[in-house]
Amino acid sequence: MKVVIQRSKESSVSFLDITNKIEYGLVILVGFTEGDDEEKIDYTVNKIVNLRIFDDENGVMNKSLLDIGGSILSISQFTLYADTIKGRRPSYIDAMEPVQAEKMYELFNEKLKKQNIEVKTGKFGHEMTVKITNDGPVTIIIER
C-alpha cells in the first residue's frame, strides 16, 4: 500500500457530472499492491489521521488532522505503482488487480470515515480531474 499525502487549503475532484470538494485538510492519493490487507489499511489510516503536520499557534507542525477537524479528499491511483525501470512506457504490473483494489479502496475510505472525519472521494476506475492547493507545501509518502 502506498499513499501520497498532501496538506491542502482546498481541493476538488471531478468525474462524470460530479465534483467533490474539501476545504482545509488532506488530499490522499492511494494505491494498492498484491499482499495488501486490512491490517495495512488499519496501520495507514491510524498514521494518516494522527500525523502532526498542521501548524499550532506557534507555527510549528504539531497538530493532526483530528486536532484541526480537517477533511480528506481520497483519490484511488494505481499509477503510484508504476515501474519505470525498463523502456519509456511505465508498467503497472505491481498494482493490485482492479476488482480487489476497488474493495480495498472502499474499505480504506470506510475506515477513515469511522475516525469521524469528513471524507470525499473520487470514482474508482474513472478518469478524474483533481485540483490540489497544496499548503506549505507539505507532501508525505507512506509505503507499508
Output DSSP code: residue 59.
Answer: S
Query: What is the chain's pLDDT, residue by residue, as a tens digit (144 residues)?
Result: 999 999 999 999 999 999 999 999 999 999 999 999 999 999 999 999 999 999 999 999 999 999 999 999 999 999 999 999 999 999 999 999 999 999 999 999 999 999 999 999 999 999 999 999 999 999 999 998
Q: How far apart are CA 137 and CA 134, in angstroms?
A: 5
**pLDDT computed for residue 144 by the predictor:** 85
Q: How far apart are CA 75 and CA 42, in angstroms?
A: 17
Question: Active-site residue numbers?
Answer: 79
What residue spans define the domains of the chain?
Answer: 2-143
Write down the pTM of the prediction: 0.95
Listed in order, strand segments (DSSP E) in the chain are: 2-15, 18-22, 25-31, 54-55, 61-63, 71-76, 119-121, 129-143
**pLDDT computed for residue 53 by the predictor:** 98
> What is the homologous superfamily of the domain 2-143 according to CATH?
D-tyrosyl-tRNA(Tyr) deacylase (3.50.80.10)
